[in-house]
Amino acid sequence: MGIQPSRQATNRVVRVSLPADVASDLAKFQRVQKDILGKLGCLACCSGWDIRWDIFNDFNVDKNLKVNAGPLR
Amino acid sequence: MDLPDLGVGFVYLPGLESLSETISRSLDVVEVEPQTFWTHSPPPDGGGVSSFRVNRDRLERPLAMGRPVLVHSIGYPVGGSRDGDPRHRAALKETFSILKPAWWSEHMSFLAAHDSRGPRHIGFLMPPVQSAESARVIAERIRRLQDEFGLPFAFETGVNYLRPIPGELSDGDFWAEIAERANCGILLDLHNVWTNAVNGRQGLAAVADRLPLERVWEIHVAGGQWHKGYWLDSHSGLPPEPVIEAAAALVPRLPALHAILLEIIPDQIDARNITEEEIALCLARLRAIWATRGSALSGGSARGPRPAAAADLPSMEAWEHGLDAALRGEEAGASRLVAQDPGLDIFSDLIAMARRGTLVEALPLSMRYLRRGLGGGGLDTLFGRFWRRAPPEPFMSDEARRFSGFVRSEVSLPHLDEVIDFELAAHRAAMTGAPQYVAFSCAPEPLLMALKHGDPLEIVPCDVEVEVTPPAGKMVPRDGIEPPTP
């Protein structure tokens, strides 16, 4: 994935193309789809702790761009 | 009611599609939570009435498994003083036409309080006051919905972290009263009722003894976790053993049980390392329990007469208004009844966590930038100000858009607005299927990648217009609906 120059929009402005998926988070897990753009509707039925904040808080990336998860609370 | 016996199944949510297909051999039925697949985009000029978009492709995907599909609605609860957002009804009808469920279900809860300015969304499924008025109003609503949709309906027995109010109907009597008045089914969520019991409300066996068991069409089981001394219905794992044991004890007494569903939140499966084998094993245990349905029926009901609720309970509107006010630390309506209840703090925590979770998921790059720029404490402060200023929005995309507007007015970080613009454009591209355009005054890729990977920011000044292309094959609007222009 990278920037794809497409055409000159004006004399000075360059138009480039980026897929919307760039906004998606790193694929931290494998079995459950991490597809942010498919989850723009209502929250699922659940009356308890929302783990997404914990995942965000515990998210870190090492120097080799390896994603590590912190301990769950 | 002549309904089919569907068997044992699994909840179907965004993020669980592939897993559901992987374990489909273990499933007799899947249950879709439709609003999680819908989207909402307000009109571009801010005027007019917007509708909810039903994504036919995504909703049709579970049908390919060749299993019957149930619909478990989550955004149009039936337990409030007023009807919910009417836009749900048209989208539900379209959903039913696609999935053709044998019945549908919703929660015995409310999502909004009302005052002269209109509905104020609370952001969580809240429990109604268990009064005679509530039973009457809710039952009338259910009857209307059954007539309108022509589809059998079951309400879900909800979680309630509050202490019982003196004079209320017990949980079991309240649900029994509504089911019989409305002539509808009951979705008995065993984890919800067990959670309520663990937290001090009526025990599961006592609830079951008060219910018209011939109306229990469906059972939900799930897992949870502790928080501040309360057991939460967080769907964070497989059901605890007492919930399985309760199912094993109750199912033989149910003459009209048609399905047992396992609920779990997708993020929790990987975060807690729950394997497919463990899920399949749990489903197998549930199937063994399912096989005992109706095998130990007692002759006739021994429930006895239902006691009447006290006449001096608050009205439904006063209860809803008071609960909403108490959650914000204000006094209004019936807020004095719950202001000292520690369960209120639990609801407050859960609402805040759901809002934070929504924002970090919908705006991952912007939120990383904000945490880098403001620090964890600064972000907490920003959240607190936003919670006070704006009530929650039901749709993730709407909550993200509103928070973005707030951040633009409150925070100044280099190129932050452009990062926000990009993420909102990505939402629009996904929802409409059409490319979106945003301007950057720096090279976008180094900035976005640095935020994504946690690297030092790299700012390369230049004027760029970015065409944000839709993700392939996702979130295409339904036929006949014109996508909004950016």
CA of B189: how far to CAs of B127, B156, B207, B423, in Å? 14, 6, 11, 37
CA distance B457 to chain A (A): 14
A37: nearest CB among B75, B159, B471: B471
For A47, the closest chain B residue by CA position comes to B233
User: Which residues are CB-contacts of B350 (< 8 A; sequence separation ≥ 6)?
Assistant: A47, A48, A49, A50, B124, B232
As a whole number of Å, the end-to-end CA separation of chain A is: 34
For residue A29, the model assigns a pLDDT of: 40
Q: For residues B155 and B177, give the distance between their C-alpha atoms in angstroms, rounded to a whole number.
A: 12
Contact by Cβ (8 Å): B32, B99: yes
Tell me B24's DSSP state.
Answer: G
Q: Which residues of B fall within a CB distance of 8 Å from A8?
A: none
Under 8 Å CB-to-CB from B200, ≥6 apart: which residues? B163
Residue-level length of chain B: 486
What pLDDT sits at residue B48? 63
**pLDDT band of A66, cuts 50, 70, 90:** very low
pLDDT of A23: 60
Report the DSSP pairing between strands B118-126 and B110-115. antiparallel
Contacts of B222 (CB under 8 A, 6+ apart): B189, B191, B233, B235, B239, B243, B262, B263, B264
**Nearest residue of B to residue A22, measured between CA atoms:** B448
- d(CA B61, CA B49) in angstroms, rounded, equals 29
Name the more confident of A43 and B249. B249
Question: Cα separation of B262 and B249, whole Å?
Answer: 17
What pLDDT is recorded for position B142?
98
Cβ distance B227 to A42 less than 8 Å, yes or no, reads: no
Lookup: tokens for B393? 């929005």
Min Cα–Cα distance to chain A from B453, Å = 6
* Structural domain includes residue A33: yes
In a domain, A46, yes or no: yes
The pLDDT assigned to A31 comes to 52
Which H, E and C letters describe B42-94, residue by residue? Answer: CCCCCCCCCCEECCHHHHHHHHHHCCCEEEECCCCCCCCCCCCCCHHHHHHHH
A54 occurs within a structural domain: yes
Residues 6+ apart with CB under 8 A from B105: B70, B71, B72, B73, B153, B154, B155, B156, B185, B187, B218
* Contact list, A27 vs chain B (CB under 8 Å): none
**DSSP state at residue A22:** G
What's the pLDDT score for residue A37?
66
| pLDDT, tens digit only, all 486 positions of chain B | 799 999 999 999 988 998 999 999 999 999 999 999 998 876 666 666 678 889 888 899 999 999 999 999 999 999 999 999 999 999 999 999 999 999 999 999 999 998 888 889 999 999 999 999 999 999 999 999 999 999 999 999 999 999 999 999 999 999 999 999 999 999 999 999 999 999 999 999 999 999 999 999 999 999 999 999 999 999 999 999 999 999 999 999 999 999 999 999 888 888 888 999 999 999 999 999 999 999 998 765 568 888 899 889 999 999 999 999 999 999 888 899 999 999 999 999 999 999 999 999 889 899 999 998 998 899 999 999 999 999 998 888 899 999 999 999 999 999 999 999 999 998 888 888 889 999 999 999 899 988 887 888 889 999 999 988 887 644 433 333 333 333
Half-sphere exposure of A62 (CA within 13 A, CB side): 6
A1, part of any domain = no
Contacts of B464 in chain A (CB under 8 A): 13-16
A26 within domain boundaries: yes
Cross-chain residue pair B467–A6, CB shorter than 8 Å: yes
A5 located within any domain? no
Within its chain, how far is the Cα of B297 from the centroid? Answer: 34
Closest CB to B471: pick one of A12, A20, A30.
A20
User: Is A18 close to B36, i.e. CB distance below 8 A?
Assistant: no
What pLDDT is attached to residue A67? 43
A62 to chain B nearest CA, in Å? 9
Which H helix or E strand runs over A52?
helix A52-58
> What pLDDT is stored for residue B300 in this prediction?
59
Which residues in A lie closer than 8 A to residue B429 (C-beta atoms)? 20
Compute the distance between CA of residue B352 and CA of residue B267 in angstroms, rounded to an integer: 18
Query: Are B400 and B359 spatial neighbours (Cβ–Cβ below 8 Å)?
Result: yes
The number of distinct structural domains making up chain A is: 1
Q: Please check whether residue A3 lies inside any domain of the structure.
A: no
Q: In degrees, to the nearest 5, what angle opens at C-alpha B236 toward C-alphas B232 and B239?
A: 85
Q: What is the pLDDT of residue A52?
A: 82
What's the rounded Cα separation, in Å, for the pair B14 and A44? Answer: 9
Quote ipTM for the complex.
Answer: 0.76
Domain that holds residue A51: 10-69
The minimal CB distance from B269 to the residues A32, A35, A44 is found for A32
Taking CB atoms and an 8 Å cut-off, how many pairs form between chains A and B?
A: 236
